[in-house]
Structure 1
Amino acid sequence: MASTVNPVTTTPRLGRYTIDTNRSSITFRSRHFFGLLPVKGTFAIRSGTIKVAEPLAESSLRVEVDAASFHTGNGQRDAHVRSAKFLDTGRHPLITFVSDSVDATTVSGTLTVCDVSQPVSLAIVHSEVAAESFTVRATTRVDRHDFGVTASRLMAGKRFDLTLEVTCVHR
């Protein structure tokens, strides 16, 4: 039985975990058309591994996201974002995140998009711990220009608010 816990005082049991991609998601919010219209969408997590260690600072994680899974519900926009003008998913099929440091409230690491790597910190806003799994919700904001994705400067949103809801299962 899962229960909501304070992430500052409770951690999952030690060991290796895999991300259950069927129960995990990445959602985003941005604005387009001169910042007037909201855009919501998703990315699919392809795979991920987490090592929970003692002390917690020695924990690590790696997540791979399918860049071509960009989805907003607008087929024309989605195809445009997947094109060479933006994400160029034919040449750059993966978006990756690898942690550098982990504590009870933050995971910091390197996000790589279109072969450009930048530091990113994820704020852990909620967690649930069960005997053989745990779920974490974390948020961050990224600026697409930091990754060289600069097309349509006025029409497409510059910043993306990302929310990751990830369920991890003990191996």
Structure 2
Amino acid sequence: MTNTEAGAVEIPAAGTYRIDAAQSGLSFKTKHFFGLGPVRGTFRIREGELNVTDPVAGSTATATIDAASIDTGNAGRDRTVRSGQYLETDQHPDITFASTGLEQTGGTWVLHGTLTVRGTSGPLDVTLETATVEGTTLRARGHSRVDRYAFGITAMKGMTGRYLDLVLDLVADRA
């Protein structure tokens, strides 16, 4: 077990863990109206897999997020985000993440990877806050920040926040 600033990360047994989409989720917060108003929302995780190795630094992770599942509690906003102005979900139904490495720095675990949004890929680091193992179930929480401009999503500059602060709550079962 490794302590982090936010909690503890327990290293699970080596093996394959499949993400339980029904119990996992991706939430975000951003700003709108020239940075004055907060916006919170969620996306559903469609599927994913964690392959834990020994040593753990060789572990990998993949996840697919349902782009059209965005839910901010405002149907009009959600339609706009699904449209060609933002995510263009009819042409790009998935947002994907594939890890490229895992490292521990100063007691904090960081999962490095590639995020693909609307056909554009870029780097994304996910900082693990907690990870616990209960039998064959792995529960983890991590956070990251996405710059939407880096993925070519630049509509409504000023009116819509540039950055999305993500929180990933993950439940995965050993296969």
Q: Decide: shared fold, TM above 0.5.
A: yes
User: Into which bin does the TM-score normalised by the smaller protein fall?
Assistant: over 0.9
Alignment partner of 2:165: what SS? strand
Cα deviations across residues 33-84 of structure 1 (Å, max 9, x unaligned)? 0000000000000000110001111110110000001110000000000001
Q: What aligned pairs does 1:11-50 form with structure 2 within 5 A after superposition? A: 11-50=11-50
Unaligned 5+ segments in structure 1 are none
Q: Within 1, Cα distance between the matches of 2:97 and 2:21?
A: 15
Q: Within 2, Cα distance between the matches of 1:149 and 1:142?
A: 11
Q: Residue in 2 aligned with 1:96?
A: 96
Alignment partner of 2:22: what SS? helix
How far 1:131 sits from its partner (Å)?
Answer: 1.7
Cα deviations across residues 64-110 of structure 1 (Å, max 9, x unaligned)? 00000111000000000000111000000000000000135110000
Q: Residue in 2 aligned with 1:83?
A: 83
Runs of 4+ in 1 over 3 A off after TM superposition: none
Q: What aligned pairs does 1:53-64 form with structure 2 within 5 A after superposition? A: 53-64=53-64
**Percent identity of equivalent pairs:** 40
Q: Residue in 2 aligned with 1:71?
A: 71
More divergent stretch after superposition (29-38 vs 121-130): 121-130
Is the 1:12–1:130 contact (alpha carbons within 8 Å) kept by the matching residues of 2?
A: no
Unaligned 5+ segments in structure 2 are 1-6
Q: Residue in 1 aligned with 2:4?
A: none
Q: Within 2, Cα distance between the matches of 1:76 and 1:69?
A: 14
How far 1:6 sits from its partner (Å)?
Answer: 2.5
Q: Residue in 2 aligned with 1:110?
A: 114
Aligned residues: 165
1:162 to 156, 163, 166: 166
Alignment partner of 2:116: what SS? strand
TM-score, structure 1 length as denominator? 0.94
How far 1:129 sits from its partner (Å)?
Answer: 1.1
Is the 1:12–1:133 contact (alpha carbons within 8 Å) kept by the matching residues of 2?
A: no
Is the 1:110–1:120 contact (alpha carbons within 8 Å) kept by the matching residues of 2?
A: yes
CA RMSD of aligned residues (A): 1.0
